[in-house]
Structure 1
Amino acid sequence: MSKRTQIFIYSKHDENSLQKKSVLSEMISNYGFTAVDDAKNANIIVSLGGDGAFLQAVRKTGFRQDCLYAGISTTGTLSMYCDFHFHEMETMIHAVQQSEIEVRRYPILQVIVDDNPPFYCLNEFSIRSNIIKTFVLDVIIDGLPFETFRGDGMIIATPTGSTAYNKSVNGAVVDPLLPCFQVSELASVNSNKYRTLGSSFILSNQRQLTLRLQDGNDFPTMGMDNESLSIHHVDSVNIELSDRVVKTVKLKNNSFWEKVKRTYL
């Protein structure tokens, strides 16, 4: 950690966020770090805000594999990705200098829509009908037909994303130490013609999931974390756990399950 001194700070562009960014830049310079304007020159990337800002920081900087990410909360409360309070920045800096932090590796999804280049998701990928109508998906695991889904859509979540959209549809909360991803339904319609498992299921990092669209609804609404993806005439989506990870820093006494307890219990 002692060699990581170049820090890029990601924030919103409103006056309050930019003011906090300026304060943080000055503070880290007093401790021997350098705030850089280009994320490509950084080996630590810091987000200011909440979990949404952290997801944006990771996405906008390209899911960098050669640097560490840290989330700093400016909302007054800690969250799933934000381990540090803005008003306690000296504590974070001291922890980095004294090697009192740990590096945590979060798995991410790789998603390929038809023949387009892959993109990545730290929380989840979601797919839904873009019209007021159910749509039909063939669910294929490792090239073998599993079920035919009819309903509003599906959520495919990473372990860390299991506490977000996935949890709101009664998906399981999954330990991020498990290399896997979870598939959850959105309002499935079960009948003699269409039959689904009816519950979330978890696939290992050795599995590949394919969703093949039917019923002429080939312009779905697709979400990657907190951004939307617009592609016309979608035929199929291939999803698997990527070899990439997002490396974040955390205090040694702040585990994933402590965060779950703090947030939900």
Structure 2
Amino acid sequence: MRFAVTARGDERSHMLKEQLEQALMERGSHRDTVTPEIVISIGGDGTMLQAFHSYLDQVEDITLVGIHTGHLGFYADWRPEEMGELIQHIADNNVATVEYPLLELSIDYADGSTNQLLALNECTIKSFNQTLVCDLSIRGEYFETFRGDGLCISTPSGSTAYNKALGGAIVHPALEAIQITEMASINNRVYRTIGSPMLLPKHHDVEIRPVNPIDFQLTYDHYASIVHQNVKSIRCRVSDKKVKFARFRSFPFWQRVRESFLAEERS
């Protein structure tokens, strides 16, 4: 099996990376950082997001698996002391997978150009020094004019990240949906928004059109870019592409939620 390993920059993660690569090659697997079949992330969920974006052009052809060297993550669920078991599964080519939906962003500019992005967790739209004002349309129909600090559009697997901190719902990744969650919206006698998170199914999309001519920041996963005043609209939908994660053992999503937020890690 062709494999690639990405690691967080700390010494422990780097040491585990070297040990893992050596052990896999001794068992007949081949290191291939260009066209791997499986990509192993060592670190945390942030390292997994980096691995995902590093192989974004091959997202449907690779399988991801994570070893966490910090706290239990939603994407990195193997512990360093379990690495021998993981190596054996990979060497035996005993790979079962689960698929998670992705968020597709399509940014249209006033000059007619378009930029398309994929996100595993979420995208956020924030203003810098002024209130963000934008029109939201769902399935091509005007829904509301948002005024506030910003918006977060998340995937089900990303619903436990920034979305949860904003008061959004935790959504099981088996649901092909995106969630829109507000950041400090303005609601008074004059201005109103829905004021609660909204789930959109796969066949729905949301179009966000800036109203006030200000610069704002668009982030997707852990990447950030400054989007200037020539943005005409940002369209968000469930992508037709999915990301695959290796599941060599049962680790149900709700157990993952419980251990991340309500209980100590497995002993």
Tell me the TM-score normalised to structure 2 length: 0.91
- Once the two structures are superposed, the pairs formed by residues 107-146 of structure 1 within 5 Å of their partners are 107-114=101-108, 115-131=113-129, 133-146=130-143
- Counterpart of 1:89? 83
Report the Cα offset of residue 216 of structure 1. Answer: 1.5
Gaps of 5+ in 2: 263-267
- CA–CA distance in structure 2, aligned partners of residues 18 and 102 of structure 1: 26
- RMSD, aligned CA: 1.6
Q: How many residues align?
A: 256
Change (3 A) 1:53 1:106: same
Structure 1 SS opposite 2:227 = coil
Report the Cα offset of residue 158 of structure 1. Answer: 0.3
- Identical counterparts, % of pairs: 34
- CA–CA distance in structure 2, aligned partners of residues 121 and 16 of structure 1: 28
- CA–CA distance in structure 2, aligned partners of residues 263 and 111 of structure 1: 28
Kept in 2, the 8 Å contact 1:68–1:247? The answer is yes
- Once the two structures are superposed, the pairs formed by residues 184-263 of structure 1 within 5 Å of their partners are 184-217=181-214, 219-233=215-229, 234-263=231-260
Gaps of 5+ in 1: none
- Counterpart of 1:106? 100
- Counterpart of 1:19? 15
Deviations 1:182-217 (A, max 9, x none): 000000001233211110010000001101101212
- CA–CA distance in structure 2, aligned partners of residues 96 and 167 of structure 1: 33
- CA–CA distance in structure 1, aligned partners of residues 204 and 44 of structure 2: 32
- Counterpart of 1:176? 173
Kept in 2, the 8 Å contact 1:101–1:252? The answer is no
Deviations 1:88-117 (A, max 9, x none): 111112334557653110100110111322
Structure 2 SS opposite 1:53 = helix
Report the Cα offset of residue 146 of structure 1. Answer: 0.4
Deviations 1:103-159 (A, max 9, x none): 11010011011132211000001000022x211111110110001110000000000
Structure 1 SS opposite 2:247 = strand
